[in-house]
Structure 1
Amino acid sequence: MTDTTSLSQLKQAALDRARAGDWNGAADTLHAVLAQSPNDLGSLLLLGDVSHSDGNIQAASDGYRAALALAARTPSLPAPVQAGLQRAQTRLVDYASDYAARLDGLIPPSERSARFNQSLDILLGRQPVYLQEPRRYYFPGLPQIQVYDTARFDWVPEMEARTPEIQAELRAVLAEDQASFRPYIERGTGHLAAQDHHLLDNHDWSAFYLWKDGRKVEENCARCPVTTAALDRVPLDFADGKCPSVLFSVLKPGAHIPPHNGMVNTRLICHLPLIVPGPAWLRVGSETHHWQEGKIVIFDDTIEHEAKNEADETRIVLLFDIWRPELSEQERTEIATLLGAIDAFSES
């Protein structure tokens, strides 16, 4: 008997046992088929169906998911197979719904902590896992936190309290000299140009810098003394030639900053919203934050994030970056030295 005939006989035996209601026998035979031919789509679907009929939801889920993954790479499937795939997809949705309902009965949603609730969304496939993916430098061992609780930062209340004064300085700059605002992504700077061409040299997202790439813009700071002084107690992540950047960040009506990741994971990005004329939001990983004037938001920009101004008028925040609080003073010094050296090497 040839291997091909043997495999054909096994498949027929599995089908016969399934028709006879011998779920265990059919499943055992299908495992033998898949040991020889792991990409047999029909056998994967049948294993899902057999396991479903036997009440083995986990095995059915495994079979159906494997079949759907294989089908995604297989063109021109016949109609009966497509019907089986649709059945598999429907049952997976039903399984997830039943599982979620059982979990809701175990711990009601209103009684869950935010992080536990997020873990359930990941478990149930409602959202993907978002992790730090810096485009330039990765420092190991830092927690994967999308948006930080501002209560952890003792400088936040004082900074928020100075919002009206900072707003006044911003409005004075806007009234005097809008030409000082430059596109946030400029040709040759390497910010997001590789990922987001439509904002390159585009004033839909523009900036008025107080610090740029670690260097103080003296003229602009002189025009905004209150804002400059307010940052004195903030742990800006100074590294020569690299950071911080402190700027009034402008997002025009309808402007969308598509999903992207930041350069280094040793910093956090802070927004102090100054002008929020309507709906405007920031998504970091699985969390969506709606800006509120005078309320700081602190997030890890190496986790995928995006932003959009859905209002009919311009949105402006004071944007600045700080050291991650988990880094020791020694680590901050080491990182600052390294980042400065990387830029020096790049220019040599």
Structure 2
Amino acid sequence: MTAPLETVPQLIARARQALQAGGNPQMAVDAINEALKQAPRDIGLILYLGDAHHAAGQKSDAGHAYGIGLKLAAQINPVSIPDGIRQALQRAEARRAEYSAAYESFLRARLPGSEKETRFDQALEILLGRRQIYVQQPTKFYFPGLPQIQFYDTALFDWASELEAKADQIREELISVMTETGTFSPYLSEEDTARPHVRSHTLQGSLDWAAYYIWKDGARVEDNARRCPVTAAAFENVPLDFLTGQAPSVLFSRLKPGAHIPPHHGLVNTRLIGHLPLLVPGPAWLRVGNQVHHWQEGQLVIFDDSIEHEAKNEADETRVVLLFDFWKPEITLKEREQIAALTAAISDYSGDAIARAD
């Protein structure tokens, strides 16, 4: 005859006895695991399992159990959580934080430091749960096989230093343009529906985010280019992504004080976006994926806009960058021709523009 199955209360009592001073924490772990076979989603039991693992010195297993308990508790109404469980949840959070800090300290003691953030630093932050993983998610056209890089090192582009060297002259042209009213137009027009994030966008039709185009949707804006000759000529060596009727766009992008561009994705992942900051009167930032960049006047920044990004001008004055889009260096000349032919065919067939500046 087989022994009768112990009930959950009996197993809990056995675990409690095993955890008493001088007891055996591993016996408690075994008893609670048996109880969980009968009540697998019991938050109290799961947290108690974490306590037993903690008593046994099994911090990794304890952290795992606490994590499951906290996740389940987050799915129910906090008002319905009994005080005893609430206290256990608080203990679980505190211990997980303690484990995480100890783990990080141990790892960092074994690792060489670095002055500048590296890819390894990002990997470590993700491992520690400090950062989320972001990938390319273009809303219109995805090209496979490209590296997932949020911000590119400007040293990789031989034309970057030449463009930066012209920042002062370009800024003078910008200031001249800004002395006149009506020169800028909303970056997101009322008619713009090609980009999903535009619909119901608080900045649609607003001059809080405004543009003065040198190139727009693949066409040179001649009057503006003549007015800003240094700016127009600065891109002779930049591999702009020429796509008939769609790209490139080169513009002064103006963001008024307090203006926030919400998180969104660009239309395609075959291009990069460049910002040459010209007027940065105070705190203003650009987040791409899990990295945040603070604009500095005259210092070029290059990023992949098919990865979720957002921006905000927290200064009391207007921020302006020279914004432009260009081919990713990983796209070959043949692939550029193929992409250009494809986008033209799509446009001719349906009138859909898949690669306008975003």
Compute the TM-score of the two structures, normalised by the length of structure 1.
Answer: 0.91
Mean CA deviation greater in 289-298 or 13-22: 13-22
Q: Secondary structure of 1:283's match? A: strand
Distance in 2, matches of 1:47 and 1:94, equals: 17
Distance in 2, matches of 1:113 and 1:7, equals: 51
Aligned 8 A contact 1:195 1:260 in 2? no
Match for residue 71 of structure 1?
Answer: 73
CA RMSD of superposed structures (Å)? 2.4
Length, aligned pairs only: 346
Distance in 1, matches of 2:129 and 2:199, equals: 27
Match for residue 17 of structure 1?
Answer: 18
Question: Tell me, which stretches of 5 or more residues in structure 2 are unaligned?
Answer: 353-358
Aligned 8 A contact 1:155 1:233 in 2? yes
Match for residue 186 of structure 2?
Answer: 183
Structure 1 residue 339, shift from structure 2 partner: 2.7
**CA shift in 2, pair 1:174/1:111, >3 Å:** closer
**CA shift in 2, pair 1:290/1:192, >3 Å:** farther
Structure 1 residue 136, shift from structure 2 partner: 2.0
Distance in 1, matches of 2:211 and 2:350, equals: 25
Distance in 1, matches of 2:62 and 2:96, equals: 9
Q: Secondary structure of 1:180's match? A: coil
Counterpart residue identity of residue 32, structure 1? E
Q: Secondary structure of 1:302's match? A: coil
Match for residue 233 of structure 2?
Answer: 229
Match for residue 163 of structure 1?
Answer: 167
Residue by residue over 1:132-174, the C-alpha shift from the partner in whole angstroms, topping out at 9 and shown as x without a partner, is: 2222222222111111110000011111112222222222222
Match for residue 147 of structure 1?
Answer: 151
Distance in 1, matches of 2:167 and 2:115, equals: 35
Mean CA deviation greater in 178-187 or 335-344: 335-344
Matched, 1:286 2:287: no
Distance in 1, matches of 2:213 and 2:186, equals: 11
Aligned 8 A contact 1:193 1:200 in 2? no
Distance in 2, matches of 1:142 and 1:68, equals: 37
Match for residue 60 of structure 1?
Answer: 62
Residue by residue over 1:217-263, the C-alpha shift from the partner in whole angstroms, topping out at 9 and shown as x without a partner, is: 23322322221111121111112232222111001122222222222
**CA shift in 2, pair 1:54/1:221, >3 Å:** same
- The within-5 A match list for 1:1-348 is 6-19=7-20, 21-75=23-77, 76-110=80-114, 114-176=118-180, 178-190=181-193, 191=195, 193-194=197-198, 197-347=201-351
Aligned 8 A contact 1:270 1:297 in 2? yes
**CA shift in 2, pair 1:10/1:340, >3 Å:** farther
Aligned 8 A contact 2:66 2:96 in 1? yes
Distance in 2, matches of 1:290 and 1:112, equals: 15
Compute the TM-score of the two structures, normalised by the length of structure 2.
Answer: 0.89
Distance in 2, matches of 1:321 and 1:4, equals: 69
Distance in 2, matches of 1:32 and 1:278, equals: 60
**CA shift in 2, pair 1:341/1:32, >3 Å:** farther
Structure 1 residue 96, shift from structure 2 partner: 0.7
Q: Secondary structure of 2:273's match? A: strand
Distance in 2, matches of 1:168 and 1:134, equals: 35
Residue by residue over 1:287-328, the C-alpha shift from the partner in whole angstroms, topping out at 9 and shown as x without a partner, is: 222222221100111222222222222111110011111111
Q: Secondary structure of 1:332's match? A: helix
Q: Secondary structure of 1:103's match? A: helix
Structure 1 residue 51, shift from structure 2 partner: 0.4
Question: Tell me, which stretches of 5 or more residues in structure 1 are unaligned?
Answer: none
Structure 1 residue 33, shift from structure 2 partner: 3.1
Which has a greater percent of helix?
A: 1
Aligned 8 A contact 2:198 2:204 in 1? no
Aligned 8 A contact 1:187 1:193 in 2? no
Q: Secondary structure of 2:65's match? A: helix
